[in-house]
Amino acid sequence: MAPTSLRDTVLAAAVDYIADNGPDGLSFRQVAIAAGVSHQAPYHHFSDRRGIFQAIATEGYELFTTAMLESLAAEPDDPTTALLEAYVNFALDHRGHFRVMFRPDLCAIADSPELQRMADGSFDVLVDHVRDLLGPKAPLKDIRARAAAMWSLAHGLSTLLIDGPLEAKIGPVSSRRALIRAVAEQSGLANSPKRH
Amino acid sequence: MAPTSLRDTVLAAAVDYIADNGPDGLSFRQVAIAAGVSHQAPYHHFSDRRGIFQAIATEGYELFTTAMLESLAAEPDDPTTALLEAYVNFALDHRGHFRVMFRPDLCAIADSPELQRMADGSFDVLVDHVRDLLGPKAPLKDIRARAAAMWSLAHGLSTLLIDGPLEAKIGPVSSRRALIRAVAEQSGLANSPKRH
DNA sequence: TCGCAGAAGTTGACGGTGTCAAGGGTGGGG
DNA sequence: CCCCACCCTTGACACCGTCAACTTCTGCGA
C-alpha cells in the first residue's frame, strides 16, 4: 500500500461518494470523520470545499486525456467512433470524476490555472482530431461546427446514460459498446473519410 | 397582476435564482424571507426542499413539450433541425427549469407520478418524431439508436452551452441559430429523407 | 349568528454543515 | 535547548433543512 496521505484518502473517499450519490450531498465533515480525523483536518490540504472539487476535476481531466489518447492509438481506422466510445466509457467508469468536471459552479475551472490547463488539454484532443479529420484547409467554421457536434453527441450520451432517462425510454441496453457504435453510425459522424 | 399565491412567488423566485446560480446553493429560507414571509411558510405548499424542485421540473417539462411541438408545426420540412433548435433554445431560455429537469438527485422523477408523466410526454415527442422519420417498418434497433443520437446531440449541445466550456473552446458564437444549424448539418442528422 | 374545522403563517428549537480562530504536539535544524 | 513549520484538534459562529407547537384567518354548516 502506498503511503496514503490524508489528502489522497479524502480525495478517494469523496470520489467514491460522488459516484454513488452525486456531488451535492457531499459533506466535508463526514468525509473527514470517515477518514478518522477531525472535521478540520482536510483544511490543511484543501483551502475550501471547492478545493476538493477542483482536485477531483484536475485528476479527472488527466485521466480523461490519457483515455482519449489511448483510444485514438488503439483504433486509428475509425478515430471518431473510438473517441466517442472513450468519452462515454470514461464518463460511466469514472462517474465520481465526471460528475464534477462539468460543473463549473462546483470546481470553478477559471479560478485554478492548473485545472484550466488540464481541461484545455482534454478538449484539445477532440478539436485536434476534428482538425486532422477535415484537413488543414477546411474552413474554420466547419471545424468548429464538427467539433461541437462530436462533443455534444459524446457529452449528451454520457450524461443521459449517467442520469438515467435514456435507458428508461430507449429500453435496456444490452451492450454499452453496441449502443455507442449504433449511435455513432446513426448520427452520421462515424467513419468520415479523411482528406489529407 | 394575477393573484400571485405564495406558491407561485416562491416558485418564480427559485427558478430565477437557479437560472443565475445553479440549483445547489438555493436556500429554502432565503427564498422565503425574500418573499416576505417566515422561513417556514413555504412548507405549506411544498413538502420538502425536493418538492420545490419537483414542481419546477413539472412546470419545465410542460413548457418543454409545448415548445417542441410548436417547433415541429412551424417547420415541417426539416423537423429534425427544428426539434434540435427547440431543445437548445428551451435549455438556454429556461435555464432555471432545465437545470433541474435533468437532475434526478434533486427532483426524484420516479417519486412523483405527475412529474414522471410530464417527463415521458416530453421524450415521447422526440421518439415519435424518430419513428415517423424512419417509417413504421424500420427495425426497432435503428429507431432506438437514432433517437438516442438525436437526443444526445441536443442534450449535449444544450448542457455544454449552458455550463460554458464549449464557447470557450470553439470560439464565440455569433448567432445561436447559426451554430445549431451548422451542428445539425455537420452531424448527418438534419434533413434526413422520410420514407413513408 | 355562532362555532368550528382546516388552511396559512409564525415562532422556536434541534442536529448538521462550512468555515474562522486559536491552541497543541512533534520532529528536525540552528 | 530552543524555535519553527507542519499537521491536526478543539471550540465557536452563522446558516441550513426540518420537526413541533402556536396563532390567525377564512369559509361553511347548524
> Which are the contacts of A168, defined by CB distance < 8 A and separation ≥ 6?
none
Contact, A123 vs B125, CB < 8 A?
A: no
In tens, the pLDDT along A115-170 reads 999 999 999 999 999 999 999 999 999 999 999 999 999 999 999 999 878 888 88
Given a cut of 60, is residue A186 above it in pLDDT?
yes
Percent share of chain A, pLDDT over 90: 84
Percentage of the residues of chain B whose pLDDT score is greater than 70 = 95
- Minimum distance, in Å, between the CA of residue A4 and any CA atom of chain B: 31
Assigned domain for B52 exists: yes
A95 in Cβ contact with A51 (< 8 Å): no
Percentage of the residues of chain B whose pLDDT score is greater than 90:
84
Is the same domain home to A33 and A52? Answer: no
Compare CB distances from A183 to B21, B152, B171 and report the shortest one's residue: B152
- B137 lies in the same domain as B150: yes
Q: Which range marks the domain in which residue A2 is found?
A: 1-46
Residues B152 and B105 occupy one common structural domain: yes
Residues of B in contact with A106 (CB under 8 A): 24
Q: pLDDT (tens digit, 9 = 90+) per residue, A67-107? A: 999 999 999 999 999 999 999 999 999 999 999 999 999 99
Query: Pick from B46, B62, B77: which residue ends a domain?
Result: B46
CA distances from B150 to A126, A153, B90, B156 (A): 20, 8, 16, 10
C-alpha distances (whole Å) from A82 to each of A59, A74, A120, A166, A177 are: 22, 8, 20, 21, 10
Residue B75 counted as domain residue: yes
CB of A153 within 8 Å of any CB in chain B?
Answer: yes
Residue A196's pLDDT is 43
Chain D: positions less than 7 Å from a protein CB are 6-12, 15-21
- pLDDT tens per residue across span B70-112: 999 999 999 999 999 999 999 999 999 999 999 999 999 999 9
Q: Which residue has the higher pLDDT, A165 or A192?
A: A165
Q: Which tens digits make up the pLDDT trace of B124-136?
A: 999 999 999 999 9
Give the residue from B158, B145, B109 showing the smallest Cα distance to A183: B145
Domain end position, chosen among A10, A25, A46: A46
Identity of the amino acid at A60: G
pLDDT above 50 (res B194): no
- Residue B19 and residue B32 share a domain: yes
**One domain, residues A27 and A55:** no
Q: Establish if B196 belongs to a structural domain.
A: no
Mean per-residue pLDDT, B39-58: 95
With 80 as the cut, is the pLDDT of residue A194 above it? no
Using pLDDT thresholds of 50, 70 and 90, give the confidence band for residue A31. Answer: very high
> What helix, strand, coil percent values describe chain A, rounded to 5?
75, 0, 25
CATH number, domain of B73, equals: 1.10.357.10
pLDDT at A111 > cutoff 50: yes
Alpha-carbon gap, residue B82 to B88, rounded angstroms = 10
Q: What is the mean pLDDT of residues B151-165?
A: 94
Please tell me whether residues A38 and A79 are part of one structural domain: no
The rounded mean pLDDT for chain A is 92
| List of chain B residues whose C-beta atoms are within 8 Å of the C-beta of residue A144 | 170-171, 182
- Nine-digit cell string for B136: 413504421
Shared domain for A62 and A89, answered yes or no, is: yes
CA A178, A182, A184, A189 torsion-angle sign: positive
Number of compact structural domains in chain B: 2
Q: Does residue A38 share a domain with residue A135? A: no
Q: In this model, does residue B1 exceed pLDDT 70?
A: no
CATH number at residue B32: 1.10.10
Cross-chain Cβ contact B127/A169 below 8 Å: yes
Is a pLDDT exceeding 60 seen at residue A11? Answer: yes
Asked if B148 and A170 come within 8 Å (Cβ–Cβ), the reply is: yes
Give the pLDDT band of residue B191 (cuts 50, 70, 90): low
A102 and B146 in contact by Cβ < 8 A?
no
Q: A193 lies in a domain?
A: no
Does residue A89 sit in the same domain as residue A156? yes
Is A194 inside a domain boundary?
no
Same domain, B9 and B84: no
Average pLDDT over residues B25-45: 94
Q: What is the DSSP string of B108-143?
A: -GGG-HHHHHHHHHHHHHHHHHHHHHH-TTS-HHHH
Q: Is A24 in the same domain as A66?
A: no
For A:23-52, CB contacts with B below 8 A are 24-25
B168 located within any domain: yes
Residue B121 lies in a domain: yes
> Is the same domain home to A76 and A173?
yes
In a domain, A183, yes or no: yes
